[in-house]
Amino acid sequence: MPSQPNNQPLRESAQVDNASVQPMPGSKKVYVEGSRPDVRVPMREIQLSQTPTEFGGEENPSLRVYDTSGIYTDPEASIDLRRGLPALRAAWIEERGDTEILPKASAYYTQKRQDDPELTALRFDLSRQPRRAKKGANVSQMHYARRGIITPEMEYIAIRENMALAEARERGDVQHPGEAFGANIPEEITPEFVRSEVARGRAIIPCNINHPESEPMIIGRNFLVKINGNIGNSALGSSIEEEVAKLTWGTRWGADTVMDLSTGKHIHETREWILRNAPVPIGTVPIYQALEKVDGVAEDLTWEVFRDTLIEQAEQGVDYFTIHAGVLLRYVPLTAERVTGIVSRGGSIMAKWCLAHHKENFLYTHFDDICEIMKAYDVAFSLGDGLRPGSVADANDAAQFGELETLGELTHRAWKHDVQVMVEGPGHVPMQMIKENMDKQIEACGEAPFYTLGPLTTDIAPGYDHITSGIGAAMIGWYGCAMLCYVTPKEHLGLPNKDDVKTGIITYKIAAHAADLAKGHPGAQLRDNALSKARFEFRWEDQFNLGLDPDTARSFHDETLPKDSAKVAHFCSMCGPKFCSMRISQEVRDHVAAQGTEVVEEAVRMIDVEAEMQEKAREFREQGAELYQKV
Amino acid sequence: MPSQPNNQPLRESAQVDNASVQPMPGSKKVYVEGSRPDVRVPMREIQLSQTPTEFGGEENPSLRVYDTSGIYTDPEASIDLRRGLPALRAAWIEERGDTEILPKASAYYTQKRQDDPELTALRFDLSRQPRRAKKGANVSQMHYARRGIITPEMEYIAIRENMALAEARERGDVQHPGEAFGANIPEEITPEFVRSEVARGRAIIPCNINHPESEPMIIGRNFLVKINGNIGNSALGSSIEEEVAKLTWGTRWGADTVMDLSTGKHIHETREWILRNAPVPIGTVPIYQALEKVDGVAEDLTWEVFRDTLIEQAEQGVDYFTIHAGVLLRYVPLTAERVTGIVSRGGSIMAKWCLAHHKENFLYTHFDDICEIMKAYDVAFSLGDGLRPGSVADANDAAQFGELETLGELTHRAWKHDVQVMVEGPGHVPMQMIKENMDKQIEACGEAPFYTLGPLTTDIAPGYDHITSGIGAAMIGWYGCAMLCYVTPKEHLGLPNKDDVKTGIITYKIAAHAADLAKGHPGAQLRDNALSKARFEFRWEDQFNLGLDPDTARSFHDETLPKDSAKVAHFCSMCGPKFCSMRISQEVRDHVAAQGTEVVEEAVRMIDVEAEMQEKAREFREQGAELYQKV
């Protein structure tokens, strides 16, 4: 992890995390061009080797996979944290003609920070000024979608999501049918499909006009399941450079969005560095910073401080805001009997404010004012579940589901403004109670995308909550959840370091992919099939490179069989050279090839006969038991 | 990891793994006595501290949890690998009067090994001779159960399984109702219930009369979900002492049974060391060793070699045998078109044998002969799924389900002999296809316990297959699977070391416990509730000690807040001292306590009103949409 050199100012010295800029092993960065040359959709193309001669000697086509890593994995790109990423969407935003460049940032707080000479050394050196919708204009993707406009962002997304499907069609690869629980994933993702899903609120494209560096992506249950990684320092530690390293590291391994949950010093400056170097949408919880501004005293929060914070962050380019507007005064007492009370930071801040003033949550009463800000920059709502359960004992209780009803009401209010919305969900929920969360959310929130934290399926494994929650995340993803917020091994215990971020991301990529398979997302199984074929054929390098984490797979393999020759060996360490089930399987194939397909047909016939006999035997046993009982 | 000293013979030098004999942190080993003084059921009692004064200052009763670690975690016990564990079941077996002590081991191979002076230094020094059923007797627990006999083993198990329930009743602790999919877990586990479940074949008690050291346990879907850990060396490495260390390490963290899958040199001697020091049932796959005896040439296998191997291992004390008797000649061609062919080692050996001789699998044709051996020692069947899928592409195909029908037929044949049976299952299965596996197994195998490997829900994460499979394991456990065979991070890549064993075990304890919660196993939620309460009250030490892995939880916490004072601090590193949602929750409680319960009642009433209004709004929108469409 890079640490800040002693005397050099960050704006001059900031270094990219070296581990984040290596190209992915065995892969090539490719760009697929859309209808215009500046729609260039990045993909990772995994190069595969030939099948060994004894297994048939065929060519294996390279495989293109979804790629969130940005230009950091492109060896042709020039990377400089101090300059930030290229503003790939700038022309699209500009040519829509509905925005204007402000003379300077509108937020009082931003101005104060910019005028502070002590922050110069720390500050990202951004030359451009923020952009805002022209008076009366609405620049949200939902607004365009509802007027029938297909934006370049939508086309970009269609290419990005469709890629695996096109390959699947071309290859005729096998895939099991899914069980999609009401999701309806088309055979081909078209730009028009993207538009229609955004128009009806079933998907969102988080893309603030002040974050033109981000590569468009979509969150909705008829698309690939997405994952979010959290970063952010707290009062207790970690530097700006470390947080940026967590960002580039997290997106390298597959984070589709990143939330900056910083609560420590220099929140504003940290966020600027993150945004300027983020190829993915960035989310925040503005109330955290608002609280810092009133010295951590929740009851001192005001709408004015919060409003200024929203504008500050919107003009920096934050793509979605978690807003805990559903924590109503009357729900707060419902948490008193809980085992773990209120565990959401935002939820507890608002609960405290409501109680202290005995007034309704100002985020709720000012909700339309917030919508006005959101549509001027295209910031999407992530309606926070401030009353989510913090233990399985508190799952699906009155406080949680009461708040969910309110989130449903707010979803429809935001949609009246053509503002994009997703809705946050729990938390800690045992397996048998997960589906109810998804079903209730779909009904209450009119199919707005659901975005859950896990859920954790048991409380008894601190240190392993990426796993307790990965189980729940896979399941709720299958049931229709659109984005899964990762949980790291440090959950409940401490701040995640880079290793924890990676472990959390990979665990959640597994959950999201398992959900895509289960929903029957067209083409999702391509990568499984390619990897399994490589495994069967002892193409070790291909097996590593097709995996979610080639480095770890390779190093685990090398622990037992470190020699390079072992990576072309046609056996593995589990069985050793003499005793290999994969090799025997190949002999079965050769046998069947020699015998002809009649043996297979005969076998299938025999299974049917046998099943019939078994059924007869079962009937006989059951009748026998009955007869016996009657006697 | 201990390694063998250079010149000292193992029988003199063998050292227990030091990490395995530490008492569990914050815990006391206790024994609950049954109806006779030699029924002493071990439990781990976790001591809890008082709730801090500001949260109410109450006492927190200690919590007893299921304990598989044997006497290794008992500071009073004297541990010596060279002597092995005390034979706690010896008197029970002896007093049944249906067994005899043999003058010497019956297997030809055992005699050969015992007569080899070169093995003396390596050999465990066992003074007693093997035991076998008297001529014509059947010593299986199923046989006793069917004759209405409640054995001390059954009483032991009832106490062991019932303990959490009794505590739950006493405390009146909250627990969510489960969804048990046909499982039927009583409010109290009685010895008679154990007997009846074993009698009808819905549960097994693997307890070979030659493994009197093992602590009785039960596998069945109306009991706690169990997990198995695999150990074993291969031709490529690892010593006997290392394997014993993996055993004691695995049971320390919760392995309910351990399978010794060794395929390398000294299989016989390794197994002896493992059995004599194993507090849990040991399973094996005898065909592995039989294959070694014919120099790895599958077609040279004979019934005679296999039979001798069964007797050799039965007289050593192996508690269950994986037998791949369902791999029928006619199923083999069905695997030819698979992406990954046959991936089970045992399955591929038998497939090769069948093809080479063009004869039916000798394990199938000799199945009744095998039953005769099983009942003379009380070895349970684990009917192997030799044709399980090795990739999601191959899941639930004709080969797999054809074999399952045959395993059903064999289950009923074994039951005619009063021999205990469980049935092995896959493998690699995407989420939406898992339940079909459970349902078909229950139907085909008359509710005999199912014992699955994962299943892995995707193939694309080598290095993380404990997680890809932990997801599937939790789900199939919920659906009714009785035992989950762990998968370590090294799956598909290499041999697990001690760290991998622990990671695999903890992951599977999570899956099993999540399944117990989801099934509504009475009392399962006690530990979650206790841990969550400790978490809420900032009782850090209690939170660590109640977790599945206190050491890791503590060390993660210390990475961010290493000071000892932080472990009594009433905040955590995620938010820091000024900004703590837990503390705010306590203020909510104080508020409600001051206000009275009317605020809560009013809130619940308002939620109902709101839900009604939302429903009306939804109806209105839907009607509007309909009207619009009609126009």
A183-214 pLDDT, tens digit per residue, is 899 888 999 999 999 999 999 999 999 999 99
SS3 A30: strand
Cα–Cα distance measured from residue B2 to residue A615, given in angstroms and rounded to the nearest whole number:
54
Beta bridge partners of B40: B33
Chain A residues touching B604 at Cβ < 8 A: 334, 398
| Inter-residue long-range contacts of B488-493, CB under 8 Å, 24+ positions, other chains counted | B489/A556, B489/B463, B489/B464, B489/B465, B490/A556, B490/A559, B490/A560, B491/B462, B491/B465, B491/B466, B492/A535, B492/A543, B492/A572, B492/A574, B492/B462, B492/B465, B493/A553, B493/A556, B493/A557, B493/A560, B493/A572, B493/A573, B493/B462, B493/B463
Chain A residues touching B351 at Cβ < 8 A: 584-585, 588
Please report which confidence band the pLDDT of residue A6 belongs to, taking 50, 70 and 90 as the band edges. very low
- To the nearest whole angstrom, how far is the Cα of A153 from the nearest Cα of chain B? 29
Of B336, B337, B459, the CB nearest to A532: B459
B251 contacts B96 by C-beta, under 8 angstroms:
no
The conformation of residue B388, written as its DSSP 8-state character, comes to -
Q: Between B561 and B353, where is the model more confident? A: B353
Buried b (16+ CB within 10 A) or exposed e, B47-76: ebbebeeebeeeebeebbbbbbbbbbbbee
Q: What is the ipTM of this complex?
A: 0.94
Question: Percentage of residues in chain B with pLDDT exceeding 90?
Answer: 75
Subunit contact A176:B518, Cβ cutoff 8 A: no
Minimal Cα distance from A336: which residue of B?
B589
B105 contacts B73 by C-beta, under 8 angstroms:
no
Please report which confidence band the pLDDT of residue B575 belongs to, taking 50, 70 and 90 as the band edges. low
Minimal Cα distance from B180: which residue of A?
A432
Please report which confidence band the pLDDT of residue B145 belongs to, taking 50, 70 and 90 as the band edges. very high
Mutation for B interface: A405, A460, A533, A608, most B CBs within 10 A? A460
Please report which confidence band the pLDDT of residue A608 belongs to, taking 50, 70 and 90 as the band edges. confident
Of B432, B457, B492, the CB nearest to A178: B432
B480 contacts B181 by C-beta, under 8 angstroms:
yes
Please report which confidence band the pLDDT of residue A2 belongs to, taking 50, 70 and 90 as the band edges. very low
The mean pLDDT value for A38-60 works out to: 92
Chain A residues touching B588 at Cβ < 8 A: 332-333, 335-336, 341-342, 351-352, 355
Does the pLDDT at position A474 exceed 90?
Answer: yes
Query: Residue A311 corresponds to which tokens in the numbers above?
Result: 């504008």
Give, rounded to a whole angstrom, the gap between the first and last alpha carbons of chain B.
78
Q: At what angle are helices A303-316 and A267-276 packed, to 10 degrees? A: 30
Cα–Cα distance measured from residue A300 to residue A298, given in angstroms and rounded to the nearest whole number:
5
Query: Residue A580 corresponds to which tokens in the numbers above?
Result: 């290999």
Minimal Cα distance from A598: which residue of B?
B333
Does the pLDDT at position A237 exceed 60?
Answer: no
| Range name among A8-22, A212-226, B212-226, B249-263 with the lowest pLDDT average | A8-22
Subunit contact B402:A517, Cβ cutoff 8 A: no
Beta bridge partners of A226: A483
Chain A residues touching B225 at Cβ < 8 A: none
Helices and strands per DSSP (H, E), number in chain B: 22, 15
pLDDT given at position B616: 76
Of B474, B493, B577, the CB nearest to A471: B474
Beta bridge partners of A423: A383, A450
Please report which confidence band the pLDDT of residue A576 belongs to, taking 50, 70 and 90 as the band edges. low
Please report which confidence band the pLDDT of residue A311 belongs to, taking 50, 70 and 90 as the band edges. very high
Cβ neighbour number for residue B317 with a 10 Å cutoff: 27
**DSSP letter for each residue of B103-155:** SS---HHHHHHHT-GGGTTTS----SPPEEEPTT----HHHHHHTT---HHHH
Average pLDDT of the residues of chain A: 91
Chain A residues touching B423 at Cβ < 8 A: none
The mean pLDDT value for B553-576 works out to: 71
SS3 A37: coil
Cβ neighbour number for residue B239 with a 10 Å cutoff: 17
A13, exposed or middle or buried, with CB in 10 Å at 0-12, 13-18, 19+? middle
| Inter-residue long-range contacts of B169-172, CB under 8 Å, 24+ positions, other chains counted | B171/B61, B171/B526
pLDDT given at position A3: 43
- To the nearest whole angstrom, how far is the Cα of A606 from the nearest Cα of chain B? 8
The mean pLDDT value for A55-63 works out to: 89
Chain B residues touching A464 at Cβ < 8 A: 506-507, 510, 548-549, 552
Of B337, B517, B584, the CB nearest to A392: B517
Tell me the pLDDT tens digit for each residue of B446-469.
999 999 999 999 999 999 999 999
* Total count of residues recorded for chain B: 631
CA dihedral for B462, B465, B471, B472, sign (positive or negative): positive
pLDDT given at position B239: 85
Please report which confidence band the pLDDT of residue A1 belongs to, taking 50, 70 and 90 as the band edges. very low
Subunit contact A263:B575, Cβ cutoff 8 A: yes
* C-alpha A538, offset from chain centre: 32
Cβ neighbour number for residue B166 with a 10 Å cutoff: 16
pLDDT given at position A106: 96
Does the pLDDT at position B260 exceed 70?
Answer: yes
Whole-Å CA distances, B181 to A220, B226, B323, B446, B477 = 31, 18, 28, 15, 11
Please report which confidence band the pLDDT of residue B580 belongs to, taking 50, 70 and 90 as the band edges. low
Query: Residue A459 corresponds to which tokens in the numbers above?
Result: 């409380």
Tell me the pLDDT tens digit for each residue of B485-509.
999 999 999 889 999 999 999 999 9
* Total count of residues recorded for chain A: 631
Does the pLDDT at position B600 exceed 90?
Answer: no
Tell me the pLDDT tens digit for each residue of B301-316.
999 999 999 999 999 9
A128, exposed or middle or buried, with CB in 10 Å at 0-12, 13-18, 19+? exposed
A210 contacts A377 by C-beta, under 8 angstroms:
yes
Give, rounded to a whole angstrom, the gap between the first and last alpha carbons of chain A.
78
* C-alpha B605, offset from chain centre: 46
Of A474, A552, A604, the CB nearest to B431: A474
The mean pLDDT value for A418-436 works out to: 98
**DSSP letter for each residue of A518-560:** HHT-TTTHHHHHHHHHHHHTT-HHHHHHHSS-HHHHHHHHHHH
Please list, in sequence order, all residues whose beta carbon lies within 8 angstroms of the beta carbon of residue A606, skipping any fewer than 6 positions away: B330, B402
Cβ neighbour number for residue B344 with a 10 Å cutoff: 27
Q: Between B602 and A446, where is the model more confident? A: A446
Q: What angle do CA A98, A101, A107 make, to 5 degrees?
A: 115
Please list, in sequence order, all residues whose beta carbon lies within 8 angstroms of the beta carbon of residue B43, skipping any fewer than 6 positions away: B29, B30, B31, B32, B64, B65, B66, B67, B160, B163
pLDDT given at position A155: 98
Query: Residue A576 corresponds to which tokens in the numbers above?
Result: 């050793």
| Range name among A267-281, A607-621, B369-383, B617-631 with the lowest pLDDT average | B617-631
Of B337, B352, B489, the CB nearest to A584: B352
Cα–Cα distance measured from residue B338 to residue B320, given in angstroms and rounded to the nearest whole number:
30
Residue A131: what are its φ and ψ, rounded to 5°?
Answer: -115, 150
Mutation for A interface: B441, B464, B545, most A CBs within 10 A? B464
SS3 A190: coil
B190 contacts B203 by C-beta, under 8 angstroms:
no
Chain B residues touching A428 at Cβ < 8 A: 532
- To the nearest whole angstrom, how far is the Cα of A63 from the nearest Cα of chain B? 13
Helices and strands per DSSP (H, E), number in chain A: 22, 15
Please report which confidence band the pLDDT of residue A235 belongs to, taking 50, 70 and 90 as the band edges. low
pLDDT given at position B569: 61
Cα–Cα distance measured from residue A380 to residue A140, given in angstroms and rounded to the nearest whole number:
8
Subunit contact A345:B604, Cβ cutoff 8 A: no
Chain A residues touching B548 at Cβ < 8 A: 460-461, 464
pLDDT given at position B9: 78
Residue B421: what are its φ and ψ, rounded to 5°?
Answer: -140, 135
- To the nearest whole angstrom, how far is the Cα of B112 from the nearest Cα of chain A? 24
| Range name among A27-41, A51-65, A488-502, B99-113 with the lowest pLDDT average | A51-65
Q: At what angle are helices B152-171 and B191-199 packed, to 10 degrees? A: 130
Chain B residues touching A347 at Cβ < 8 A: 581
A216 contacts A205 by C-beta, under 8 angstroms:
yes
Comparing C-alpha atoms, which of B535, B530, B533, B540 is closest to residue B562?
B540
Chain A residues touching B296 at Cβ < 8 A: 578-579
Cα–Cα distance measured from residue A274 to residue B600, given in angstroms and rounded to the nearest whole number:
43
pLDDT given at position B566: 62
Chain A residues touching B176 at Cβ < 8 A: 392-393, 395, 430, 432-433
Q: Between A163 and B4, where is the model more confident? A: A163
Of A235, A433, A543, the CB nearest to B176: A433
B10 contacts B126 by C-beta, under 8 angstroms:
no
A145, exposed or middle or buried, with CB in 10 Å at 0-12, 13-18, 19+? buried
